[in-house]
A and B are shown apart, each in its own frame.
Chain A
Amino acid sequence: MQELVITLVSGIGQGAIITLVAMSLNVLYNATGILNFAQGDFLVVGGVVTFLVVHRGTSLAILVAIVVAGAVLVGLMMGAQGVLTLARLRSSVDQHSWLVTTLAASAIIESCILLEEGPAQLVVPNRPGTFELAGVRQPWLYPVLLGLAIVAFFGLRAFHGHTTTGLAMSALRQDLDAARAAGAPIRLLQLAGFGISGLLIGVTGALAAPVISLSQSSGITYALSGFAAAVIGGLGNQLGALIAGPVLGVLTEVAIFHLGGEYEQIAPLVLLAMVLLVRPEGVLGQAAPRRV
């Protein structure tokens, strides 16, 4: 029973973090075609905001305010990154300078975290505490993060399906030229994509701070995990990301428990490879037609 609890609760909890990273990547990808290498670092920035303010005696109300503030701050930072990334692009589809600018953003953020907070892993007190299930204590944050992922999924679905801005952003991914011809403000919509992605990753980092690794070098791990989940679910597909994250998390826990910790990083990569071999567009992705 304890094995089941750890596998499911830890796996889904850690998987929810991966899902949220993947969903934030998808928001940006759908709006701009850009995969942000700095996404994991923005997750860490959100966590650092919580680290700077929260201590063992902080009330939950203050904690919520900090999480919101962290989300807004990261949203603004990603908006600024968007301005710099998109400034020289005629079209994100045709040019790939974003590869360099997003990598540069990642390096700058990591350096800033190192200069400000030093090299040690930052530890944030777990204010929401733990609950007990089958004799095992698990952080409340795990089910909360799963709830956040589900809320984010439905929120984004409603935004893209029922708001003018959301519909326009969806149109960018489907046909950029048609959207431009229809008079959609492309750059503004793409910047909005950066901002929304930043809000999502910022709230994730700020909320999950006690249960994620917070240091200047840990961002890339989360970015890669999020990217794997996004690809497995189908790049750009939020339902795919919502499912893939917990699947990856549970698979990792099962692999560690039964095979050993040395399989912690191998298991997700094996799943990724298998999915790409069988269905390269991802489990819920759609194969894109290519003009020849």
Chain B
Amino acid sequence: MTHSRATRCLGAAIGLMLVATAACSTKKPSNNTASSDGPLKVGLMVPLTGNLAQPGGWIQEGVEYGVKQVNAAGGVDNRKVQLVTVDTAGDPTQAVTDANKLINQDKVQFIIGPITSDAMTAVLPVENQHGVASIPVVGSAELTPSKMPYGFSMLLNAADQAKAMVTFAQKKNYTRVAILHDNGQQGLSADGALKADAKDAGLTVTGDQQYSVGDTDISAQALSLKRGNPQAVLLFPTDGTDVGHVLQAMKNLSWNVPVVGGYGAHYSTQIAAVSGPSSMANLTATAYAPFGACPGQSAPSATKAFLSGIKAFKPNAFAALALDLAAASVDSVSIMKQGMEGAGSTSGAKFASWVETHSGSISGLINPSVSASQSSHYLFGPSDMVLVRPGKQVSTGVYERADC
């Protein structure tokens, strides 16, 4: 008797569990869509450790300032932005883990970062699968809209920089150039673009060398390039310290030719720490347009407002900040706000579609125009870039333009 009663109780309990499970399963399956109430969670993927921790820190400072500005103006669709920061350590594998955590666990609806093309390439399948929009910091020309449908890079495109560098070399009547770049994906991409643009421009590439980020002795590479007797070196670095080591190696070889650099070659504080301020006498580099001016010219008012604002926000970090990269990071938050409000959605597809078709009406807080389109997912294009002399500042954070 007792046994059959226990059996009936057990059967009833199992039945109740089954009914409850069935009831739960009638709920719509989650598509990882976070709530539209409450704060807007935005993931920030930057390296805070590893070789790229310094630019990672600059971007973090800029984004945090940008979030402060956006929240002070009411947030995004009246939702305050809440930043969820993860450290990618500059490792593409770690970046994938971080992206999964941000999207599946933290339920972020937008991602700023990661900051290398290698990491972005690794993360793209995760972001694309979940339809999450992002603003990474990448420069590889291989990250086309078809590969990166919901992502728009805040960095100057390596291909655009290469074109600007070769055009400058042409204007200076150089006919023989050497190419030196780092071994990251962006550096390799830039190498291909530089070679192609040089060939189109009728320049002879006398040598092509690469180095690893963090190398302190680049003498062998420099001597190998010097052997070809170029009139200028086209240098595509990631880090200013590496530029310092390149210039030091050239100085040790008594090799004094102009160096035309990509974006990383304008980090003058880092360069000077290695090879001294005088080493930049013959150095030109690409930079965001609001941070270049001719002597006697005033920086744009938006640039000045940004400089005073971020100095007040991060007084201890200000002196070491790459100000134009921080400014682009601030703008990434502003552009995210404009895109989401314009699209009326946090959906990656709708955000991307809106930005592609309305870029002419989008403006960053500091960078006045956005150049993205259906054929290019780079927010800032050739018209948003200038060549500057890193060794000469016309005012704090604003460099002398090379075309003055």
Query: Chain A: residues with CB nearer than 8 A to chain B?
Result: 2-3, 6-7, 10, 14, 110, 114, 118-121, 123, 130, 135-138, 211-213, 215-218, 221, 253, 256-258, 260-262, 264-265
Contacts and interface: CB of A to CB of B under 8 A. Distances in A.
Interface in B264-313: 270, 273-274
15 contacts: A10-B220, A110-B49, A119-B48, A119-B49, A123-B241, A136-B223, A213-B214, A215-B214, A218-B214, A253-B220, A257-B220, A257-B224, A260-B210, A261-B212, A261-B221
Contacts of B214: 121, 213, 215, 217-218, 221
A6 B217 CA distance: 10
Given A120-B241, A121-B241, A10 B273 contact: no
B216 interface: yes
Interface residues of B, number: 36
Given A2-B223, A119-B54, 16 more contacts: A10-B217, A110-B49, A119-B47, A119-B49, A119-B57, A135-B253, A213-B215, A215-B214, A217-B49, A256-B209, A256-B220, A257-B221, A260-B224, A261-B209, A261-B221, A262-B210
Interface of B: 47-54, 56-57, 183, 208-212, 214-217, 219-221, 223-224, 239, 241, 244, 251-254, 270, 273-274, 320
Given A10-B219, A120-B53, A2 B253 contact: yes
A217 B50 CA distance: 5
Interface centre among B208, B209, B219, B224 (most CB of A within 10 A): B219
Contacts of B274: 123
A6 B212 contact: no
B252 A118 contact: no
Contacts of A213: 214-216
A110 B219 CA distance: 28
Given A114-B49, A260-B210, A3 B54 contact: no
Nearest to A138: B252
B326 to A, nearest CB: 15
Contact of A123 (B54, B217, B244, B251): B244
Contacts of A137: 251-254
A6 B216 contact: no
Given A211-B216, A211-B217, A6 B208 contact: no
Contact of A215 (B51, B221, B223): B51
A260 B54 contact: no
A76 B241 CA distance: 32
B15 to A, nearest CB: 50
A118 B54 contact: yes
A256 B221 contact: yes
A10 B224 CA distance: 14
